[in-house]
Amino acid sequence: MGMSNMVGIASSTCQVGGGGGGGGWGWSGGAWSRRVSSGGGGNMKKNETSKNLAVLYFVCAFGFLGVVGSIYARLMFSPNVHGMLTKLGCVEDNEGSWAIGVFYGDSPFSLKPIEDVNIQKDKSAAWPVANPVVTCATVSEAGFPTNFVADPFLYVQGDILYLFFEAKNAVTMQGDIGAARSIDKGATWQPLGIALDEDWHLSYPYVFEFNGNMYMLPEGSGKGELRLYRSVKFPLEWTLDRVLLKRPLVDSFIISYDGKYWLFGSDHTDISSKNNGQLEIWYSSSPLGPWKPHKRNPIYNSDRRFGARNGGRPFQYNGYLYRVGQDCGETYGKHIRIFRVDVLTIDDFREVEVPSGIQESVKGINAWNGTRYHHLDVQQLSSGEWVAVLDADRVSSGDPNQRFILGCASAVGVATVVILIGMLLGTVKCLVPLSWCPHNLGKRSDTLLAWERPTLSSKMRLFCSRLNRISSYLRTKVNPRTFTGRSVLALAIFAAVVLMCIGVKDIYGGSGAQEAYPYNGHYSQFTLLTMTYDARLWNLKMFVKHYSRCSSVHEIVVVWNKGTPPLLSEFDSAVPVRIRIEEQNSLNNRFKADPLIKMRAVLELDDDIMMPCDDLERGFRVWREHPQRIVGFYPRLINGSPLEYRAEKHARKHNGYNMILTGAAFIDHNMAFKRYWSKEAAAGREIVDKVFNCEDVLLNYLYANASSSKTVEYVRPTFAIDTSKFSGVAISGNTQVHYNIRSNCLQKFAELYGSIADRKSEFSWRTDGWDG
């Protein structure tokens, strides 16, 4: 295309008018010249109107999408999405959010998490304890800002357990070595401080004893050498003892076996080495050296999935030596592999993989170990029991960066779609005003003009002019006034809304995990109990699938009141499901004592209520503050003369409540079930059986009757859906009849157990705003 044609296109699209005379720049006779046209003022006004319309369109479009994104964030994002554990540390880290859990077993291959062991103490509603037991908050709240904790190693000293681990410093962003102590077999840990801090990154603090001294062999590959430290004052003071090797070995350990000491580690600096896929062995007559390389080094230099990189302390069991390796295939530290060492000599090495016995979580990112775990240290106690520490994470490496990139891509997509919609509507007439494109207006001689070639600026103007023609092209192809045009517009608007929500989720919404909330530095779990019958099986299956993925749900108990019960294989559950078949169809069965329930907390939840996992986690956190209360999600205010049962709207109108419906409430099942089946409650239970209603009302009266202090507490759910409306099996089809029955129950229960009308609690008294 010749220059005159090129500029002809440029001058015909998206021009910006000049001064009072109007006109623009064009190409004429081989040179740029100023065109002056009469009536330029009218064109200027037209251009100005077009600009104002475009600006107004963009303001309205992005304002609307901003509102959509805000509503989406309000409804879908957990309050703890950015980590509310501590103000000091626990900042989202691209390396992950590693934490440490404790496991017990009769052997190193039958390890169970601490929540399955059911360690309880009466002093705190955080019991029974659940993993993780050491987190970034554990260290940060002790005064050492930490983003995550990983690479745990144990040292057993009688009945005391010491824990050494990598603590990712939230200020320097490098690893330090932290220390903690437990006097109750790992259920609770006291942070002791930072045991080792160097100018380079430290991790993998392998600790061992030799000749009465304590040694630590941390990874410090950033220094370029393998350093051995000796304890000066255990466990927090260490000094450099010696440099074992002038090599940057990663994740190394020393083990005594068959009369020699063996050092296992990985050197990833060689150009031919496979990152996380290489293993080297060295041997010596002393752990202090000197060290000689194994004749087969590198032992492995293969696929990183196969566990070549060490993943914790080796251990001996039933006469065999076992090595722990990391599978880094899908992501760094995906999970561990256990290898039985069959041959270990200076000339040969052979090992074979064996099952680890560690059950992976199926709760996904809602579980603290739902995505990966990469380090294990298992040791035998003097009692014969085995104890282990394992680090794990709910997200994979690079997750924040990946989400940020996807979020930015979504934002670009939103802007693109908005511009395309504007073009279809005619409010956006060009993408790039040609006045933004540089061009040469200097004087040139006729001789130079003859040799002139297209420049970068002219090519840019050509490209922009062609880009600007998209607007007119789209309007000729798609007419917004036709059915097809309106369909295209609707689809484009829908795409913009979807992209906006995706972008907000990726940039602001965190990993999407609905995490548990700690109390007194500890996590715990609860039993979810629901009561149903055969006609509501559809509700139940959806109920189990959803809530079994919630972080703190330990098990689900289904009280089966009527009909043929389903098979357990019919449920898609991430936790154990138990069906308790009742002989009599009675609502009193909801609060029947069940010795098989091990958790102190029970969430009584109707099978037709669906709410986010985070709502359950917040309710559980509040209940642990006051385990003597009924803590739930549906408040009622019982007042009037005579007493009348009314909906939540009445309670909010009078800014208070004195009852919590136990169709969605946390209780201490030992306390609640004992009260409900006491002799004093017999008359109330008869009323419940007679009217087939009011069992939750009765429990509220029994709580109030047994205490003069506050007995109920409300937590506001983000949202809740009644699935019975979709399946057509609602228990209370006629709301007014249902309310009348309950009003009658109020009168009778008040006569039996006293009034609760004077027990009013106000909304929004909590500082966290969860009861608003």
Give tens-digit pLDDT for 162-219: 999 999 999 999 999 999 999 998 999 999 999 999 999 999 999 999 999 999 999 9
Total Cβ atoms within 10 A of residue 473: 12
pLDDT higher at 75 or 103 = 103
Query: By mean pLDDT, which of 262-271, 618-627, 679-688 is the weakest?
Result: 262-271
Residue 39, pLDDT above cutoff 70: no
More reliable by pLDDT, 343 or 47: 343
Residue 454, pLDDT score = 65
State the pairing for strand pair 213-219/203-210.
Answer: antiparallel
What integer pLDDT is reported at residue 509 of this predicted model? 84
Q: Residue 458: enclosing H or E segment and its boundaries?
A: helix 456-477
CB atoms within 10 A of CB 714: 30
The number of CA neighbours under 13 Å toward the Cβ of 369 is 26
For residue 571, the 8-state DSSP code is -
Residue pLDDT, tens place only, 244-302: 999 999 999 999 999 999 999 999 888 778 888 899 999 999 999 999 999 999 999 98
Find how far residue 273's CA is from the centre of its chain.
34
Return the pLDDT at 150: 98
Tokens encoding 239: 């000094």
pLDDT of residue 26: 42
Whether the pLDDT of residue 13 is over 60: the answer is: no
451, pLDDT greater than 80: no
696 is catalytic: yes
Catalytic residue among 176, 399, 696, 771: 696
pLDDT of 53 > 80? The answer is yes
Look at residues 498, 744, 740, 526 and name the one whose alpha carbon lies nearest to residue 620: 526
Give strand pairing partners of 714. 632
Half-sphere exposure of 58 (CA within 13 A, CB side): 11
Residue 472: predicted pLDDT: 78
Q: How far apart are CA 30 and CA 28, in angstroms?
A: 5
pTM for the model:
0.86
- Closest to 529 in 3D by CA, of 663, 630, 677, 660: 663
Query: How many Å apart are CA 318 and CA 646, to the nearest integer?
Result: 67
Residue bearing tokens 């809602």: 366
pLDDT of residue 15: 46
State residue 693's pLDDT score. Answer: 94
| pLDDT of residue 674 exceeding 90 | yes
Lookup: tokens for 453: 């070639």
Q: According to the model, what pLDDT value does residue 224 have?
A: 94
What percentage of the chain reaches a pLDDT higher than 90?
Answer: 68
Collect all residues with Cβ–Cβ distance below 8 Å to 219 and sequence separation of at least 6. 202, 203, 204, 249, 250, 251, 252
Write out the two tokens for 9: 């296109």
Query: In the predicted model, what is the mean pLDDT of the chain?
Result: 88
The fraction of the chain above a pLDDT of 70, given in percent, is: 88
Give pLDDT, residue 436.
Answer: 62
Q: Is the pLDDT assigned to residue 748 strictly greater than 90?
A: yes
Give the integer Cα–Cα distance in Å for 709 and 523.
27
Mean pLDDT over residues 472-488, rounded?
A: 84
Is 232 exposed, middle or buried, given 0-12, 13-18 or 19+ CB atoms closer than 10 A? exposed
Q: Which class for 574: exposed (0-12), middle (13-18), buried (19 or more C-beta within 10 A)?
A: buried
Q: What is the pLDDT of residues 315-363, one digit of tens each?
A: 999 999 999 999 998 889 999 999 999 999 999 999 999 999 888 888 9
Beta-bridge partners for 577: 556
User: Scanning the structure block, which residue is given the tokens 């490209």?
Assistant: 463
**Please, what is the end-to-end C-alpha distance for the chain in angstroms?**
68
| Cα atoms in the Cβ-side hemisphere of radius 13 Å centred on 67 | 5
In degrees rounded to 5, what are phi and psi of residue 435? -65, -20
**What burial class does residue 741 get, using C-beta atoms within 10 Å of its C-beta: 0-12 exposed, 13-18 middle, 19+ buried?**
middle
pLDDT band at 3 (very low <50, low <70, confident <90, very high): very low
For residue 15, give the nearest of 425, 430, 427, 474 by alpha carbon: 430
Between 670 and 51, the more confident residue is 670
Which one, of 665, 589, 601, lies nearest residue 633 by Cα? 665
Q: What's the CA gap between 31 and 705, in Å, rounded?
A: 97
